[in-house]
Amino acid sequence: MADLVTLGEAMLRLSPPCFQRLEQANSFDVTVGGSEMNIAVAAERMGLSSAFVTAVPDGPLGRMIVNKTREHGVDTSFIITKKNTRAGVYYLEFGAKPRASLVVYDRADSAIAATGPGELPWAAAFAEARHFHTGGITPGLSDRAAQVTMEGLRAAKAAGLSTSFDLNFRARLWTEEQSQKVIEPMCPFIDVLITTEEDTSRVFKIKGKDYEDVARQLVAKFGFKVVAITLRENPRVWLNDWSAMALAGGKVYQAAKYEVEIVDRVGAGDSFSAGFLVGYLESGDLQKAVDFGTALSALKHSIPGDLNWSTRSEVEKLISGGGGLRISR
Amino acid sequence: MADLVTLGEAMLRLSPPCFQRLEQANSFDVTVGGSEMNIAVAAERMGLSSAFVTAVPDGPLGRMIVNKTREHGVDTSFIITKKNTRAGVYYLEFGAKPRASLVVYDRADSAIAATGPGELPWAAAFAEARHFHTGGITPGLSDRAAQVTMEGLRAAKAAGLSTSFDLNFRARLWTEEQSQKVIEPMCPFIDVLITTEEDTSRVFKIKGKDYEDVARQLVAKFGFKVVAITLRENPRVWLNDWSAMALAGGKVYQAAKYEVEIVDRVGAGDSFSAGFLVGYLESGDLQKAVDFGTALSALKHSIPGDLNWSTRSEVEKLISGGGGLRISR
Amino acid sequence: MADLVTLGEAMLRLSPPCFQRLEQANSFDVTVGGSEMNIAVAAERMGLSSAFVTAVPDGPLGRMIVNKTREHGVDTSFIITKKNTRAGVYYLEFGAKPRASLVVYDRADSAIAATGPGELPWAAAFAEARHFHTGGITPGLSDRAAQVTMEGLRAAKAAGLSTSFDLNFRARLWTEEQSQKVIEPMCPFIDVLITTEEDTSRVFKIKGKDYEDVARQLVAKFGFKVVAITLRENPRVWLNDWSAMALAGGKVYQAAKYEVEIVDRVGAGDSFSAGFLVGYLESGDLQKAVDFGTALSALKHSIPGDLNWSTRSEVEKLISGGGGLRISR
Amino acid sequence: MADLVTLGEAMLRLSPPCFQRLEQANSFDVTVGGSEMNIAVAAERMGLSSAFVTAVPDGPLGRMIVNKTREHGVDTSFIITKKNTRAGVYYLEFGAKPRASLVVYDRADSAIAATGPGELPWAAAFAEARHFHTGGITPGLSDRAAQVTMEGLRAAKAAGLSTSFDLNFRARLWTEEQSQKVIEPMCPFIDVLITTEEDTSRVFKIKGKDYEDVARQLVAKFGFKVVAITLRENPRVWLNDWSAMALAGGKVYQAAKYEVEIVDRVGAGDSFSAGFLVGYLESGDLQKAVDFGTALSALKHSIPGDLNWSTRSEVEKLISGGGGLRISR
Amino acid sequence: MADLVTLGEAMLRLSPPCFQRLEQANSFDVTVGGSEMNIAVAAERMGLSSAFVTAVPDGPLGRMIVNKTREHGVDTSFIITKKNTRAGVYYLEFGAKPRASLVVYDRADSAIAATGPGELPWAAAFAEARHFHTGGITPGLSDRAAQVTMEGLRAAKAAGLSTSFDLNFRARLWTEEQSQKVIEPMCPFIDVLITTEEDTSRVFKIKGKDYEDVARQLVAKFGFKVVAITLRENPRVWLNDWSAMALAGGKVYQAAKYEVEIVDRVGAGDSFSAGFLVGYLESGDLQKAVDFGTALSALKHSIPGDLNWSTRSEVEKLISGGGGLRISR
Amino acid sequence: MADLVTLGEAMLRLSPPCFQRLEQANSFDVTVGGSEMNIAVAAERMGLSSAFVTAVPDGPLGRMIVNKTREHGVDTSFIITKKNTRAGVYYLEFGAKPRASLVVYDRADSAIAATGPGELPWAAAFAEARHFHTGGITPGLSDRAAQVTMEGLRAAKAAGLSTSFDLNFRARLWTEEQSQKVIEPMCPFIDVLITTEEDTSRVFKIKGKDYEDVARQLVAKFGFKVVAITLRENPRVWLNDWSAMALAGGKVYQAAKYEVEIVDRVGAGDSFSAGFLVGYLESGDLQKAVDFGTALSALKHSIPGDLNWSTRSEVEKLISGGGGLRISR
């Protein structure tokens, strides 16, 4: 009965505290995250009923992944448990200029990577649902996961749902060529493409004179109804400018630009997707969608962990300009 | 035998580490603080003998509040213990742009809020004392606490002390209208008003074309001997400009402006009050007072917790420009 | 659609790490717990679908309480949010012989204490439910909460549910006399009474020559269908013996006695209640109920926090004697 | 104006958490302690006004030592600050059977070790005081410190105070022969000797057939008015039996024996001294003294850090047998 | 140039602090360990020059494994780096009676599991070496690793080294039948077998009327020169009895039995192996070997992490009975 | 067999977490560091075989210092253990503008300060070595340490090694005059001088119109083959600009300037020395040396602790401009 259904992998995230490098760690902070889990959680928190579809191993780590999703009210009843698989892990090291933050993936043979077509409960998940979201990480996990991603997109369209896809190219999973070969056939089943200029260039080999041009080429080539592009300027690791735009029906919708002090930028793109979908599915108004997504994701930069623990009223206050940086007391 | 006596509430302060939001906390850092306790501690550390007057519950949390005050040498012998009351608590969440820091108060029915006129040992506290300081938070706690605040001001003036008052409007305690109604009758008993432009506007409805104008209106309306105003510019949560000015005898005293990297800005205003009073009570020189207060409070931004763990020599070094940012070794 | 519905208060639990006393704490571990939340969580984890009915304040602390309940799959849709109330807090200090562990309550005026009759959605919560559980803490919170407890019991019986009640006398909330006066009128609505010999003596003034005798007197006086009594022998703080028995239909059901090394005994009684209800509602077999409850609660002693993070298979393994203390690897 | 004045060294105490060995530490818990500081703090907390006399280096570590003493209300106005000295440090490693706990001293050339006769304000400290306590650690720090200890004892007797001395032999500071040579001349100035059978054997070469015999020999040889001996049986590191006895006027006073679960036994002997002195100075009743000292020190074993954060009511409850090990809630 | 060469896998070890269950963890303590790394480290610390042969992934986690081995002086120059492999991980949950401690392995496809014959530098590692040790975990990792284990044993014997093997059956890696099939062919290459009664029963299906009988059957069937068996009695998780015996030349060598308070028993068996080999290789005296191994491993129970941070003098002191449980200061 | 041999002191470093001041610390992060240990570690990590010569006390703290050096592969076989000495300690407090970071030394009478000529194994250390590095801290520790420093320089030149020296003036160890008197006689034995403009001014009283001028004067006066100067601009504590230059053969080699977000700047100068020596000893190319040193030290600012946990590939990537601040994933 969720409005939004997402498919993807959630992993344990292990990060040394206080800017330690992985090699010098004596402890790891433990959280759970993954692009489409992050989106389901953020959307649910914003008021859009959401479900997350994935596979987890049995045992405590699989339960932890379900728990952390369910904690925010996301429907986890479509998550399957696969015995004799493992929980994907990603190690995250926080940087400071000139040392960029670093991710080490240890996600091969995870439960979702081992899942093949026919195993996930698409019919149940899509019953009464409105929208399906997934992205370019899952098909990069394994051939089986790529087939499952395509299966999900086809099933969503067959069930009458609208769909979105975040390109999310991950060089540590596969090559640009592999990703292009796998993702291009998915495009006919995608209504809303969410991406960055860099990912578009790497996966689709599309470059443009500016963001709008890139978006127009994407629409022209693949026929997406909407293309949304997030824009990050990062002169420092701890201070970025962040914005986004969308193109739909030939028209450009530009969000405000936010200067963000960065506690943890992982999941910021996912927060944009979540916020964009919340705005889009609630109002159909692209300007509202891009505004909501940009504000929600600007806030994400201030929150540790993959998940966005903002509230709807905080996002609305930021959009309305009513925030300010004084302590609220 | 303290030179400075302050009245107010000290609370447990619970804050999640590492920019976590309250909702996601697994642990809280525990400290103790409250505007007038902070002032007594900072003044004592600067060499002005100080006493803090308040009420605490019996039990370990009440003892913790007394301990943390006494640790710095402040006279705690005028603190009363009230059975069957509770320790006020405030939850503090540290933000990053565009997410402001956030305070959640849980201080209703605290020991001091439950204290009424006649319970506090004013005569003993004011014997041989020179100055009494309190502010706009305590009268916002309860009707009884408002009466106690007025009682303290009257008793101080009756005992021949000079007085100061930090307006400190707290929207989470009461409305602007309530605060105006309660505080205006206290003004005749106040020699030194310490405030911000924003608080003046909210409590007294006084706005001006600049800080000096605001200060002049305050003097004109209420007859304060001194008005001191702190000036914060916060383009970011982690980086502010900070200064202050004072108006007395028609003359403006302007402090230097400090750029501050912010570890914890809570209590910065209190440090200004403490430093200002130290300078003022030691020398009677308003320029020294405003310089000392501004430097002491600039340093506060770098120190975690409500309290200012600076030393006198550090403040003097900063005022003299001899600091520098190299590591001292 | 839950089989088990519980009513009670969940609080923030703040405990200093590493056996520190509250007065010396610099940090608190933060968890959430409360007798009937603990029971709903443990029962849900054992496979009995459960719902927790309570009231929480709006804001991050209220959300945290809901989150931590929902994390385990408990139905939280009947929890109401009450504005302008507070989250109950309890401070917990861990002891070592001869210093007993210590609880400091700060739960006056909490959301549930402020809730009165007519506010909770009994009809919805009890639709399709089988059993209602509450206990002697909630009616001790406030007159309103006592009325709400009675209202819940009446509504449950009216809806055809069976009921259980854990006597759970809390001397820091009320006197023995007050509790007797409030709880005795609830007894006609209670099918299963869960208690200790000490609580029975304090609330009902019933003492017996042994546990069985106490149970028989309880049945004789109040007509309970089942009385279950947990039995703790605590020669040390870190090492106890733990068992339980039940009386029903004149027959005594005695569980095995477990020696337990104690990490955190808070919530052990709740785990007994949960396990007992799981066994009872699944099988109707009192021996199974008392065995399951005792094993589940024996395991609780080894787990930090109020909640019981055991799995069904662990409980069954312990009952079957197949556990052993070697590391499983 | 303190009743009790103590002389000794307080050090930073650095201990790795969670039973780590020093060599493997990544962090140290930081507290402050030292035998006679511990005694002053415990006595003050029990209601006996106390002062601690010592020397500290200038700078933050010296201030920390003063702060942590003052936090409990102990009079610190007789502590002198010595420039160009250092704060003594002791590293403490917690063991588990068969690995005993371990102390590494790094206290050479500390502020108090560098202090000589004539530097400490004996006259002021002893004005209106009743009792002076010191012990066998300070004279082992340096020749100067030994002279200061003798100076203190002489001054105390001259000022009409009663005196006590804890033998406290420390093999890591000096040899048995050195300690005997230095301490025996102090004995004429000592009224109450507090010791263990082992220390008596090492320093005075006195052995007896039992504790009473040892005490009688001590009285016979040195003429102490009172000898108190603490008795520890440690079959394990985490579980000991603990008791004490005193001999005075030819009569033996035996305290109850407590089984103690051990969080941190450092400072237990000091808590005995403090409790004994509180009982003795309040009532002159040796049985009360030995009972109070033993109960206070039994509680110490459960508290992390050198200091005893118990309250008077807890001690009295334990003596009266009213404690029990149930959670108080 | 090491006397002792060991082969095996070292993993990241991730364990929640303070007896938390894995499912409830917010942080993991991070250490590195693995049976044969643990042995090389302990032996090196006892004075026997040691080398550890393994494979690690490139990247920070592989470097961490090498670092933590090298930290203790073990020769790491024979460790190979394998690209595109992963670091094995094991999750460790600490229990309390009746909950046993728990290990979750995530070590499939680790660097050493992916290593095949011909990849490890046996010739260099065995040049000038005296003894080779490995055990039953490595051959359980993969077919390739089993071949590598056999290759190592053959190469060691060919190079004239003596050999030892710890049976170390791990049910989470393979079945009893698989282990028997793989390990029995290795036995002709093994001089010293180290095992427990349980492992012998599971892998070799050998059961006896007592430990000596089991050892005699092992010698009879496989012709081992020495069989050493460790003996654990664990009535509690936190308190065990621990001892060992050896059989050689028809003669039984029995060590003392130690009662151990348990901080972390993982690696205790490895410490026995290390200590046994140190004693055996230094003196050839089996009684010294079994005494040294038992004392070293008794101490291990008190130390967090897989590694044994004891010193030689501590072990010798324990063997000589000179330890005691008083704090050394 | 190391290419690079360094002489100096390594200390325990104790720092309060999260910008706490020393005076308010409840825990210290524990690491090990010291200028020449830092250099040996960084050089070894960059691929230059290195040895560190020093003295440590026996016991766990001495072993910790050796361990942490050996962990990175540095040859520790020339470190001597001196009984009855202590480990130097330095307390480090992290600041925020306008509060500079602060170091409190507690290193008097450390093992290396107590070491005199003839104790260190120069012949063995310099066999087959290419280069010797030391600096201006060690001779400031004690007269004996100054003699040892000179002894090392003489021995290095006698053995045909090239030498370098970091001026590293420490005002908390000695006066400018003392340092000049001791260091100037060492200059004839120094090939490469590494310094800052400020240190040159303080020790040698040389000031210039710019960095190049200072370098030229140093060459002119002392005849160094190379002078390298690091350049820090610190408008904030958390954000600096960092660069370096070298003068050799009359030619200036200027490195790029890096803006650095600062996690921990301690050891940045040491990383420059290490990187400079790596580049210089590998290629003889001064531009490569200054580039490598500057990039390596720019990265150091982002890493907590004295040591530089960078990898060679990270440094090369930064020099080539290929880094960027996006998360690598």
Tell me if chain D has a CB within 8 Å of the CB of F106: yes
Amino acid residing at A79: I
Between chains, do B259 and F97 touch, taking CB under 8 Å as contact?
A: yes
| DSSP letters spanning B99-123 | B--EEEEE-TTBTTTT--TT-S-HH
Instruction: List CB contacts (< 8 A) between D72 and chain B.
Output: 67, 70
Alpha carbon separation from B226 to B198, B284, B287, B297 (Å, rounded)? 18, 11, 12, 19
Strands B162-166 and B192-195: parallel
Closest D-chain CA to E242: D98
Chain F residues close to B318, C-beta within 8 Å: 98
Query: How much of chain C, in percent, has pLDDT values that exceed 90?
Result: 96
Q: Does A212 touch chain B (CB under 8 A)?
A: no
Hey, are the CB atoms on A302 and B97 less than 8 Å from each other? yes
Q: How confident is the model at residue E329 (pLDDT cuts 50, 70, 90)?
A: confident
State residue E327's pLDDT score: 87
| Best to test chain F binding among B259, B271, B309, B328 (most F CBs inside 10 Å) | B328
Contact check, Cβ <8 Å, F106/D93: no
β-sheet bridge partners, residue C96? C99
Q: Write down the pLDDT at residue F310.
A: 98
Nearest to D119 by CA among D39, D38, D61, D56: D56
User: In chain A, positions 41-80, which contact chain C (CB-CB < 8 Å)?
Assistant: 67-68, 70-73, 76
Given a cut of 90, whether residue A113 has pLDDT beyond it is yes
pLDDT at E294: 98
DSSP conformation class of E186? G
Q: Does any CB of chain F come closer than 8 Å to the CB of residue E301?
A: no
Q: What is the pLDDT of residue F268?
A: 98
β-partners of residue C65 are none
Short-list C153, C149, C129, C125, CA closest to C139: C149
- Pick from A70-74, C50-54, E323-327: least confident: E323-327
Q: Does B216 touch chain D (CB under 8 A)?
A: no
Q: How far is B233 from chain A (nearest CA, A)?
A: 10
Interval B148-160 mean pLDDT: 98
DSSP A173: T
pLDDT surpasses 90 at A324: no
For the stretch E281-324, pLDDT in tens is 999 999 999 999 999 999 999 999 999 999 999 999 999 987 68
Q: What is the percent of chain B where pLDDT is above 70?
A: 99
pLDDT in tens, B246-304: 999 999 999 999 999 999 999 999 999 999 999 999 999 999 999 999 999 999 999 99
Helices within chain A (DSSP H only): 35-45, 60-70, 122-126, 143-158, 176-183, 197-204, 211-222, 268-283, 286-300, 312-319
Q: What is the pLDDT of residue C205?
A: 97
The token duo for E9 is: 């896998």
Which chains sit next to D, with 3 or more Cβ pairs under 8 A?
Answer: B, C, E, F
DSSP collapsed to 3 states, chain C: CCCEEEECCCEEEEECCCCCCHHHCCEEEEEEECHHHHHHHHHHHCCCCEEEECEEECCHHHHHHHHHHHCCCCECCCCEEECCCECCEEEEECCECCECCEEEEECCCECCCCCCCCCCCHHHHHCCCCEEEEECCHHHCCHHHHHHHHHHHHHHHHCCCEEEEECCCCCCCCCHHHHHHHHHHHHHHCCEEEECHHHHHHHHCCCCCCHHHHHHHHHHHHCCCEEEEEEEECCCCCEEEEEEEEEECCEEEECCCEEEECCCCCCHHHHHHHHHHHHHHHHCCHHHHHHHHHHHHHHHCCCCCCCCCCCHHHHHHHHCCCCCCCCEC
The answer, for A259 touching chain B at a CB cutoff of 8 Å, is yes
Q: Does the N-terminal peptide bond of residue E98 adopt cis geometry, omega within 30 degrees of 0?
A: yes
pLDDT at A140 > cutoff 80: yes
Residue C304 touches partner E, C-beta closer than 8 Å: yes
**Chain D residues touching residue F87 (CB < 8 angstroms):** 106
pLDDT at A317: 96
| Residue ranges for chain F with pLDDT beneath 70 | 1, 323
- Report yes or no: F36 at the D interface, CB cutoff 8 Å: no
**Subunit contact A327:B265, Cβ cutoff 8 A:** yes
Q: In this complex, is the C-beta atom of E108 within 8 Å of any C-beta atom belonging to chain A?
A: yes
Touching subunits of C (3+ CB pairs, under 8 Å) are A, B, D, E
Using CA coordinates, name the residue in chain B closest to D68.
B71
Residue A182, phi then psi, degrees to nearest 5:
-85, -40
- The whole-chain average pLDDT of chain D stands at 97
Give percent of chain E above pLDDT 90: 96
Closest CA to F164 of F7, F2, F312, F47: F7
In this prediction the ipTM stands at: 0.96
Strand ranges in chain E using DSSP code E only, listed in sequence order: 4-7, 11-15, 27-33, 50-53, 55-57, 80-82, 89-93, 102-106, 131-135, 162-166, 192-195, 226-233, 239-248, 251-254, 258-261
Q: Which two tokens stand for residue E139?
A: 């051959």
Amino acid letter for position D259:
E
Cβ pair C71:A73 closer than 8 A: no
Inter-chain contacts counted by CB atoms under 8 A, chains A and E = 65
Distance from CA of C102 to the nearest CA of A (A): 30
**Nearest-5° Cα angle at E72, E70 to E75:** 45
- Chains in touch with A (3+ beta-carbon pairs under 8 Å) read B, C, E, F
Give the nearest chain F residue to E45 (CA atoms): F63
Closest of C189, C80, C78 to residue C129, by C-alpha: C78
Element (H, E) at F89: strand F89-93
Q: Which residues contact C208 (CB under 8 A, 6 or more apart)?
A: C197, C214, C215, C216, C217
Say if the Cβ atoms of A95 and F329 lie within 8 Å: no
Do A302 and B99 count as a contact with CB atoms less than 8 A apart? Answer: yes
* Digit-coded pLDDT (tens) for A170-225: 999 999 999 999 999 999 999 999 999 999 999 999 999 999 999 999 999 999 99
Q: Is the dihedral of CA F111, F113, F114, F119 positive or negative?
A: positive
In this complex, is the C-beta atom of E30 within 8 Å of any C-beta atom belonging to chain A? yes
| CB spacing of B303 vs F100 below 8 angstroms | no
Here the tokens at position B184 are: 């205006």
Superfamily of domain D4-319: Ribokinase (3.40.1190.20)
Percent of chain F beyond pLDDT 90?
96
Answer whether A238 sits within 8 Å of F261, measured CB to CB.
Answer: yes
Domain map of chain B by residue range?
Answer: 4-319
- Write out the catalytic residue numbers of D: 270
Residue C4, CA distances (Å) to C48, C130, C310 in order: 7, 6, 19
CB distance from F223 to chain E under 8 Å? no
Comparing E207 with C1, the larger pLDDT belongs to E207
The DSSP H or E segment spanning D212 is helix D211-222
Contact E28 A27 (CB under 8 A): yes
Residue A197 to residues A101, A191, A202, A204, C121, Cα–Cα distance (Å) = 20, 18, 9, 10, 51
Q: What is the mean pLDDT of chain A?
A: 97
Closest chain E residue to F72, measured at CA: E67
E186 in Cβ contact with E195 (< 8 Å): no
List the subunits that have 3+ CB pairs under 8 angstroms with E.
A, C, D, F
Handedness of CA F163, F167, F170, F174 (dihedral sign): positive
pLDDT value at position E328? 80
From CA C136, how far away is CA C8, in angstroms rounded?
A: 9
CA atoms within 13 A on the CB side of E205: 8
Burial D214-231 (b: 16+ CB within 10 A, else e): bbbbbbeebebebbbbbb
Q: Does A234 touch chain F (CB under 8 A)?
A: yes
Q: Is E275 on the interface with D (CB under 8 A)?
A: no
Helix A197-204 to helix A176-183 angle, to the nearest 10 degrees? 80
**Token pair 């060991």: residue:** E6
pLDDT over 90 (residue B329): no
pLDDT of residue F322: 74
Residues of F in Cβ contact (< 8 Å) with B327: 100-103, 265-266
Q: Which runs of consecutive H residues, i.e. helices, occur in A99-187?
A: 122-126, 143-158, 176-183
Of F27, F86, F104, the CB nearest to D27: F27
Instruction: Report the sign of the C-alpha dihedral through residues A112, A114, A116, A118, in that order.
Output: negative
Distances (CA, A) of C147 to A193, C7, C142, C202, C276: 55, 12, 9, 22, 26
Quick one: how far is CA E103 from the chain centroid?
A: 16
A301: pLDDT confidence band, cut at 50, 70 and 90? very high
Contact (CB<8Å) C172/D259: no
pLDDT, residue A71, reads: 98
pLDDT-based confidence at residue A328 (cuts at 50, 70, 90): confident
Band of residue D328 on the pLDDT scale cut at 50, 70, 90: confident
* Interface probe with C: pick from E99, E197, E230, E260, most Cβ of C within 10 Å: E99
Task: Answer yes or no: do B60 and C89 touch at CB < 8 A.
Answer: no
Q: Determine the residue type at E266.
A: V
